[in-house]
């Protein structure tokens, strides 16, 4: 009887490195990716950026599905463009949710294993399906799956040949919290086992939970690169703007000016626009201040919480 | 059967557009059986049904549906990425897909043409039509598979070729017949079973050489284009 391990096998070959050297891609007059240089080694890296930042274009160039207009993408020294051999070491889970809905998950992953010419495709397919915990539904047609199940099936197909490098475009889209945690744990395990994992996301918290290293893209450029904690600190330490409505805005404004975390208050028709230097300290202090002065806070709305504003601050700093 | 052929065949028969293949060969068969059972002279219905419907419409339209279906449909819905992210030389993707397309087209068209040929004249004519249509199926499919990779509107361009170039211009501008797969098929069928029912200006050597050139040329083009396949759109 064959024993199936749900753990990623230890890499049989040395770790792989994906290099981008001065990579740009433009469509007519539109520059999608602008002069990006980065090196991805073993471990999990998050590619973070708002929608339209060029993450997918960059991933497609890494995966050999798009020719760079300038620069070169190499995997262990070999170009990824027009070189199908790189897929022996590289797996891709694209954002587009395209699967052969007429196949079952097992048939789909097995077909991938056979196309990779693996010595024992059946065992490889079973192992990959076990990795994403899809055994119970593996014989059903993919067309009947939920979005998260289809996503896991695609991940299994991309992992079936145990690639050194795995690229995932927005892998958590459409997953429920449990599936999300499971996928995060899987990426962690793969990274710990020496694989080079890159996943893109426009959600900060996702990247924070999975990867220690992030590459931040804004408007086609690599805006920040390195340890997420440093970048996160930059992001949380930026001034935050809140709109506060209360039973007595003027009295609240006076009280808030004495609060250390507040850097500015503006009294307007719609309420108070409050600038706070420290997000946590301000949101903790506000209820206490209101209570002490018998004021009631009707609403507290963060004004600049969109990811775009976070990124523009990051680029500016 | 290779994995690529297996997925291609499953994809082809699993899509609803496959049902589009059935009415035209059915109509061809029905018209031939009706004409024969009513005792109409084959000289009157033969050219119209065998050439006008069978070779000028059923063969190219079925080849268009199948030829653009084996790769174009996968490009449209994005599933082609699963096959392309494998360490396969691109000819190992194009050739099985072309074989499935040409095989399915040949079977779908050759069977009713064989029956219609037998009813119109003889078993020999039936066989000639089936063989020539199979050669035509290969040439058409190579052309339409390559079209799937050079344009985002392969069906539209394919229809323009079949309806405008072969159907319309072929009747008025005799020179266009030299670049018409339909005329090659007629020439080859007439060579295998000479009858008064099939007529063309294209010589047999030209038909044979051009069919081979088209099949090989567009296959090579498709392989080359697949090597440089870019995932278009949705670039964020």
Q: What is the ipTM of this complex?
A: 0.86
Handedness of CA B96, B101, B104, B110 (dihedral sign): negative
Residue A302: CATH number of its domain: 3.30.70.980
What does the pLDDT look like over A288-317, one tens digit per residue? 999 999 999 999 987 765 555 666 666 665
Residue A144: its chain B contacts at CB < 8 A?
Answer: none
User: Is the distance from CB of A57 to CB of A66 less than 8 angstroms?
Assistant: yes
pLDDT of res. A5: 44
Which pLDDT belongs to residue B1? Answer: 67
Rounded to 10 degrees, the C-alpha dihedral A219/A222/A225/A229 comes to: 0
Residues A257 and A125 in one domain: no
A62 lies in a domain?
Answer: yes
What are the phi and psi torsion angles at A69 (to 5°)? Answer: -70, -30
In which element (H, E) is residue B153 found?
Answer: none
**Whole-number pLDDT of residue A35:** 95
A96 neighbourhood in chain B, CB within 8 Å:
78, 81, 234
pLDDT surpassing 60 at residue B36: yes
With a cut of 60, say whether residue A279 has pLDDT above it: yes
Does residue B164 carry a pLDDT above 50?
yes
Q: A153 to chain B: which residues are within 8 Å by CB? A: none
Residues of A in contact with B78 (CB under 8 A): 94, 96, 98
- Nearest 5°: phi and psi at A198? -125, 125
Whether B229 contacts chain A with CB within 8 A = yes
Residues 25-84, chain B: which have Cβ within 8 Å of A? 77-79, 81-84
Residue carrying the six token digits 């003889």: B122
Please give the structure tokens belonging to residue B90. 């691109």
State the average pLDDT over residues A4-33. Answer: 78
User: Looking at the structure, do residues A219 and A264 belong to the same domain, yes or no?
Assistant: no
Q: Using CB atoms, pick whichever of B79, B85, B231 lies closest to residue A100.
A: B79
- Whether A134 and A213 map to the same domain: the answer is yes
A50 in any annotated domain: yes
Q: Are residues A243 and A222 in the same domain?
A: no
Query: Could you tell me the residue range of the domain that residue A117 belongs to?
Result: 18-227
For residues A160 and A122, give the distance between their C-alpha atoms in angstroms, rounded to a whole number: 10
Q: What number is the average pLDDT over the span A40-68?
A: 92
The C-alpha atoms of residue B9 and residue B67 are separated, in whole angstroms, by: 12
Residues in chain B closer than 8 A to A99 (CB atoms): 79, 82
- pLDDT given for residue A236 in this prediction: 63
- Is A4 a member of any domain? no
Same domain, A126 and A261: no
Question: In sequence order, what are the residues at sequence separation of 6 or more whose Cβ sits closer than 8 angstroms to the Cβ of residue A58?
Answer: A20, A23, A25, A33, A36, A47, A217
Q: Considering CB atoms only, which of B11, B85, B227 is closest to A100?
A: B11
Q: Do A209 and A145 belong to one domain?
A: yes
pLDDT tens digits along B187-221: 999 999 999 899 888 999 999 999 999 999 999 99
| B3:A96 CB<8 A | no
Q: Would you tell me how many other CB atoms lie within 10 Å of the CB of residue A48?
A: 30
- The yes-or-no verdict on residue A228 having pLDDT over 80 is no
- Between the alpha carbon of residue A124 and those of residues A2, A85, A176, B50, the distances in Å are 11, 19, 27, 52
User: What average pLDDT does the segment B82-94 reach?
Assistant: 95
Q: Are A117 and A190 in contact (CB under 8 A)?
A: no
A50 dihedral zone (left: phi>0; alpha: psi -120 to 50; beta) = beta
Instruction: Please check whether residue B222 is in contact with residue B142, taking contact to mean a CB–CB distance below 8 angstroms.
Output: yes
For residue B101, the model assigns a pLDDT of 97
Give residue A89's pLDDT.
95
Q: Which has more confidence, A227 or A61? A: A61
Structure confidence at residue B235 (pLDDT): 39
Residue A116 in any domain: the answer is: yes
pLDDT score of B167: 86
Give yes or no for B227 touching A (CB within 8 A): yes
pLDDT of residue B124: 96
Q: Would the CB atoms of A66 and B231 count as touching at under 8 Å?
A: yes
Q: Do A141 and A289 reside in the same domain of the chain? A: no
Q: What is the mean pLDDT of residues B79-94?
A: 94
One domain, residues A127 and A167: yes
Single pTM value for the model: 0.82
A contacts of B86 (beta carbons < 8 Å): 84, 87, 112, 115-116
Q: Are A21 and A184 in contact (CB under 8 A)?
A: no
Model confidence at A24, in pLDDT bands (50, 70, 90)?
Answer: very high
Chain-chain contact of B82 with A32 (C-beta, under 8 angstroms): no
Inter-chain residue contact B89 with A115, CB threshold 8 Å: no
Contact A60 B231 (CB under 8 A): yes
Q: Is the pLDDT of residue A258 over 50?
A: yes
What is the band of B118 on the pLDDT scale with cuts at 50, 70, 90?
Answer: very high
Task: Please tell me the distance from the alpha carbon of residue A267 to that of residue A252, in angstroms, as a whole number.
Answer: 10
Whether residues A54 and B235 touch (CB distance < 8 A) is answered with yes
User: Which of the residue ranges A1-5, B25-29, B39-43 would you say has the lowest mean pLDDT?
Assistant: A1-5
Sign of CA dihedral A154, A156, A160, A163: positive
Tell me which chain A residue has its CA closest to the CA of residue B229.
Answer: A65
Which chain A residue is nearest to residue B89, measuring alpha carbons?
A: A84
Q: A219 and A298: one domain?
A: no
Set of chain A residues whose Cβ sits within 8 Å of the Cβ of B82: 98-100, 108, 112, 157
Could you tell me if A62 and A153 lie in one domain?
Answer: yes
Q: Give the lowest-confidence range in A45-54, A206-215, B129-138, B154-163.
A: A206-215
Residue B236: pLDDT over 80 = no
Number of H helices, E strands in chain B: 12, 0
Q: CB distance A96–B6 less than 8 Å?
A: no
CA-CA distance, A145 to A90, in Å (whole number)?
26
Q: Does residue A232 carry a pLDDT above 70? A: no
pLDDT tops 90 at residue A149? no
Give me the pLDDT at residue A3, please: 37
Question: Are the Cβ atoms of B3 and A111 closer than 8 angstroms?
Answer: yes
Higher pLDDT, B189 or A8: B189
Residue B7 with chain A: CB contacts under 8 Å: 100, 103, 111
pLDDT score of A99: 81
pLDDT in the model for residue A2: 37
Statement to judge: residues A258 and A207 lie in one domain = no
Whether residue A209 is found in the same domain as residue A262: no
pLDDT of residue A12: 52
pLDDT digits (tens, 9 = 90+) for A104-144: 999 999 999 999 999 999 999 999 999 988 999 999 999 89
pLDDT at residue A7, rounded to an integer: 53
Query: Which has more pLDDT, A8 or B204?
Result: B204
Q: What is the pLDDT of residues A150-193, one digit of tens each?
A: 888 999 999 999 999 999 998 888 778 888 888 888 999 999 99
Q: Does residue A253 lie within any of the structural domains?
A: yes
Across the interface, do B3 and A115 touch by the CB < 8 Å criterion? yes
Which pLDDT belongs to residue A135? 93
pLDDT at A308: 57
CA distances from B26 to B16, B22, B127, B155 (A): 17, 6, 19, 22
- Tell me whether residues A102 and B14 touch, CB distance under 8 A: yes
Q: Where are the domains of chain B?
A: 3-227
**Nearest-CA neighbor of A50 among A301, A199, A219, A167?**
A219
Chain B residue numbers touching A53 (CB-CB < 8 A): 236
CA distances from A189 to A109, A150, A182 (A): 21, 21, 11
Q: Is residue A181 part of a domain?
A: yes
Task: Say which range, A85-99, A203-217, B65-79, B169-183, has the weakest mean pLDDT.
Answer: A203-217
Query: What is the biggest distance separating any 2 CA atoms in chain B, rounded to whole angstroms?
Result: 66
Give the pLDDT score at A15.
82
Spell out a b/e string for B160-176, using b for 16 or more CB atoms within 10 Å of the CB, else e. ebbeebbbebbeeeeeb
Domain boundary among A204, A227, A250: A227
- Considering the domain boundaries, does residue A272 fall inside one? yes
The total domain count for chain A is: 2
The CATH number of the domain where A42 resides is what? 3.40.50.300
Residue A225 Cα to chain centre, angstroms: 14
Chains A and B form CB pairs within 8 A to the count of 85
Are A42 and A191 contacting, i.e. CB atoms less than 8 angstroms apart? yes
Instruction: State whether residue A34 is helix, strand or coil.
Output: strand
**Average of per-residue pLDDT across B222-228:** 95
């Amino acid at each position: 009887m064959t024993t199936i391990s749900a753990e990623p096998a230890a890499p049989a070959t040395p770790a792989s490195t994906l290099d981008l050297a001065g990579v740009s891609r433009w469509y007519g007059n539109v520059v999608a990716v602008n002069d990006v240089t980065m090196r991805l080694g073993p471990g999990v890296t998050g590619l973070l950026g708002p929608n339209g930042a060029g993450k997918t274009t960059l991933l497609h160039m890494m995966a050999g599905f798009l020719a760079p207009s300038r620069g070169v993408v190499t995997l262990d020294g070999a170009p990824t463009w027009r070189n199908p051999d790189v897929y022996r070491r590289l797996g891709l889970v694209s954002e587009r949710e395209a699967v052969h809905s007429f196949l079952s998950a097992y048939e789909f992953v097995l077909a991938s294993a056979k196309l990779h010419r693996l010595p024992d495709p059946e065992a490889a397919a079973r192992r990959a399906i076990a990795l994403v915990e899809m055994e119970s539904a593996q014989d059903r047609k993919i067309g009947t799956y939920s979005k998260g199940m289809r996503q896991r099936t695609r991940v299994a197909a991309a992992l079936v040949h145990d690639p050194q490098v795995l690229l995932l475009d927005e892998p958590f889209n459409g997953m429920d919290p449990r599936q999300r945690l499971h996928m995060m744990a899987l990426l962690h395990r793969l990274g710990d086992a020496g694989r080079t994992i890159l996943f893109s996301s426009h959600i900060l918290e996702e990247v924070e939970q999975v990867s220690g290293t992030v590459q931040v893209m804004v408007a086609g450029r690599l805006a920040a690169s390195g340890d997420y904690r440093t970048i996160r600190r930059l992001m949380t330490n930026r001034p935050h703007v809140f709109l506060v409505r209360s039973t007595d805005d003027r009295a609240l404004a006076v009280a808030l000016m004495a609060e250390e975390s507040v850097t500015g208050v503006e009294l307007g028709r719609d309420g108070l626009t409050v600038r706070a230097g420290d997000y946590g300290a301000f949101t903790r202090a506000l209820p206490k201040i209101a209570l002490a002065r018998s004021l009631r806070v009707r609403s507290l709305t963060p004004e600049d919480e969109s990811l775009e504003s976070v990124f523009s601050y990051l680029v500016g700093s | 059967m290779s994995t690529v052929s297996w997925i291609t065949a499953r994809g082809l028969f699993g899509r609803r557009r496959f049902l589009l293949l059935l009415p035209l060969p059915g109509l061809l068969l029905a018209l031939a059986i009706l004409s024969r059972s009513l005792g109409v002279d084959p000289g009157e219905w033969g050219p119209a049904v065998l050439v006008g419907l069978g070779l000028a419409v059923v063969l190219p339209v079925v080849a268009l549906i199948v030829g653009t279906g084996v790769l174009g449909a996968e490009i449209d819905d994005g599933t082609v990425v699963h096959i392309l992210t494998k360490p396969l030389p691109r000819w190992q993707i194009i050739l099985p897909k072309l074989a499935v397309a040409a095989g399915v087209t040949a079977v779908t068209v050759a069977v009713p043409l064989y029956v219609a040929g037998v009813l119109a004249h003889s078993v020999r004519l039936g066989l000639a039509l089936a063989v020539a249509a199979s050669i035509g199926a290969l040439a058409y499919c190579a052309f339409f598979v390559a079209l799937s990779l050079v344009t985002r509107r392969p069906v539209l361009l394919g229809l323009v070729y079949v309806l405008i170039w072969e159907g319309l211009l072929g009747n008025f501008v005799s020179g266009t017949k030299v670049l018409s797969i339909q005329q090659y098929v007629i020439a080859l069928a007439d060579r295998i079973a000479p009858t008064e029912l099939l007529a063309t200006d294209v010589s047999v050597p030209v038909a044979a050489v051009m069919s081979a050139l088209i099949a090989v040329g567009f296959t090579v083009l498709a392989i080359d284009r697949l090597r440089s396949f870019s995932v278009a759109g949705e670039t964020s």
